Amino acid sequence: MEEYAYHSTFLRHLSSIASEGLVPGTGSQFSGGYAGHSQGKIFFSDWDGVPYWFSKMENIAEAESDFKEEEEVVDWTPIVLRVDLDCCEFYDDKPGQKDSNADAFFTKDEVDPNDIDVWDGKKWVWIGEVNEDKMSNQALKSATYDSDNGEGWWWVDFTLFEPQKD
């Protein structure tokens, strides 16, 4: 039986999540039909859904940024959080299950920072102890700058913080 629920987001959200936890949203990072479905909820998946939702974060990053500045590399680098299933009351997310072909669920509860771990690229770390500067530097070091006629952009290693099964 799975002990954890997983949530994908971006590195730029790490410090606010570390201080405030996860708070049910008023909309969605995803457009279309997801926007109305996501109000007042925080979405999670089981382990099998992590690759799908992580790749969705990559798609959002590529659509929302042209990666002209170093700051955009850090801001739009996907990360994954993990929470203990005992932290909240969870409900089945049927649309999320259909999309990811994995168990997906949501909570309407706030998730306390004490209940959140983040994958730092090597291991799960309690969010209160994660070194955000180190993760930001890793994101920058893994990115490659490509210039063409004086104007350039960054190629981001989106897999940098994609978790691996323990």
In a domain, 160, yes or no: no
**Residue 97 belongs to domain spanning:** 4-155
Any domain includes 20: yes
**pLDDT for position 66:** 83
pTM: 0.88
The average pLDDT across 134-151 equals 85
pLDDT at residue 149 is higher than 70: no
The one-character DSSP state at 111 is B
Residue 1 has a pLDDT of 46
Residue 72 falls inside a structural domain: yes
Strand ranges for 54-150 from DSSP E: 78-84, 91-92, 104-107, 116-119, 124-126, 144-148
User: Which of 67, 45, 81, 47 lies closest to 139, judged by CA?
Assistant: 67
Domains in the chain, number: 1
Q: Is there a domain that residue 135 lies in? A: yes
161 in a domain, yes or no? no
Q: Is the pLDDT of residue 28 over 80?
A: no
